[in-house]
């Protein structure tokens, strides 16, 4: 199968035990990555530096670290990481999530079957505390035409599941800073640029949900960041004015309802 890189970003608030679980899931893959590119998004804790040093020592030649002098946020961290990847195929991974053992094998198979494919993602199972405690699922459309239509209003890819072609990302302008939606902004530009996408309708990643996640996704300040990010997406021309107004209107309601109700909406209505 084709050689590929895994692209990850770590910042100071990451928990080392979560990173260990993530790294172990990468080592347990039926088809293992040829390179891990780890962007250090600003200074980290001593414990995290020690963990990364340990893995570099135990896995010589596998981990390529990209240190940034200050925290820049996920979009700009990944922007720095993409050109550092050696291989044309890049798998994204969040360092607090866990990949299913056959994730990379299944995605590589799709790229082999379809040379025109540029982005391949999957569904996710969302969990609290341990992967055995699944509290929600997020399914996404599978075919390219469905993805283009779906992306107008909601993300058609689960960001932590995607494997994409480096050339397709760079030709669309690479990641850029965009409040709350670095991936949304990238998908819009890639699809508008002619990139071809698909999703595997299986949960190939177990995505960690913090107990306070739904609280963070509420309030006036969160809504203003969301609206600003959506304006950037609107400027690409990928979505219409009506798509923009519809999604911002829905987010306004969701952001301002009480936290417990917001959690119910995400788990039972938006993610299922």
Per-residue pLDDT tens digits for 103-138: 999 999 999 999 999 999 999 999 988 999 998 899
pLDDT tier at 172 (50, 70, 90 boundaries)?
very high
Contacts of 83 (CB under 8 A, 6+ apart): 170, 174
23 or 266: which leads in pLDDT = 23
pTM, full prediction = 0.93
pLDDT tier at 179 (50, 70, 90 boundaries)?
confident
Q: Give the integer Cα–Cα distance in Å for 75 and 4.
A: 21
Helices (H), the chain: 16-27, 46-58, 74-81, 103-113, 144-150, 166-171, 182-192, 213-216, 220-235, 241-256, 259-264
Average pLDDT over residues 235-253: 94
- Determine the pLDDT at residue 250: 87
Contacts of 82 (CB under 8 A, 6+ apart): 7, 90, 166, 169, 170, 174, 175
Burial of 233 (0-12, 13-18, 19+ CB in 10 A): buried
- Determine the pLDDT at residue 137: 93
Average pLDDT over residues 235-247: 96
pLDDT tier at 38 (50, 70, 90 boundaries)?
very high
**In the predicted model, is pLDDT for residue 248 greater than 90?**
yes
Average pLDDT over residues 66-92: 97
DSSP structural state of residue 95: T
- Determine the pLDDT at residue 257: 66
- Determine the pLDDT at residue 262: 56
86 or 261: which leads in pLDDT = 86
pLDDT tier at 216 (50, 70, 90 boundaries)?
low
Task: Kindly report the average pLDDT of the chain as a whole number.
Answer: 93
- Determine the pLDDT at residue 36: 98
92 or 272: which leads in pLDDT = 92
Contact 190, 172 (CB under 8 A): yes
Q: Give the integer Cα–Cα distance in Å for 73 and 10.
A: 10
- Determine the pLDDT at residue 160: 98
- Determine the pLDDT at residue 217: 64
Q: Give the integer Cα–Cα distance in Å for 97 and 150.
A: 24
Nearest to 188 by CA among 226, 227, 230: 230
Average pLDDT over residues 56-62: 97
């Amino acid at each position: 199968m084709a050689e590929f890189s895994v692209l990850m970003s770590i910042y100071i608030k990451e928990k080392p035990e979560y990173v260990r679980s993530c790294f172990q899931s990468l080592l347990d893959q039926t088809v293992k990555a040829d390179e891990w590119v780890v962007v250090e998004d600003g200074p980290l804790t001593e414990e995290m530096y020690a963990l990364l040093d340990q893995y570099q020592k135990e896995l010589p030649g596998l981990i390529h670290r990209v240190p940034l002098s200050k925290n820049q946020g996920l979009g700009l961290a990944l922007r720095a990481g993409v050109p550092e990847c050696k291989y044309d195929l890049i798998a994204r991974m969040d360092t607090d999530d866990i990949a299913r053992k056959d994730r990379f094998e299944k995605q590589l198979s799709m790229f082999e079957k379809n040379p025109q494919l540029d982005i391949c993602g999957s569904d996710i199972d969302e969990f609290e505390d341990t992967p055995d405690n699944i509290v929600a699922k997020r399914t996404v459309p599978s075919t390219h035409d469905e993805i283009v239509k779906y992306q107008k209003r909601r993300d058609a890819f689960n960001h932590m599941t995607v494997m994409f072609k480096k050339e397709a990302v760079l030709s669309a302008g690479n990641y850029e800073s965009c409040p709350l939606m670095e991936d949304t902004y990238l998908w819009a530009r890639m699809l508008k640029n002619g990139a071809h996408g698909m999703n595997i309708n299986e949960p190939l990643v177990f995505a960690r949900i913090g107990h306070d996640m739904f609280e963070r996704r509420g309030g006036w300040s969160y809504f203003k960041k969301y609206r600003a990010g959506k304006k950037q997406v609107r400027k690409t021309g990928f979505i219409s004015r009506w798509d923009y107004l519809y999604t911002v209107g829905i987010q306004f309601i969701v952001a301002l309802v009480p936290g417990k109700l917001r959690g119910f909406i995400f788990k039972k209505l938006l993610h299922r």
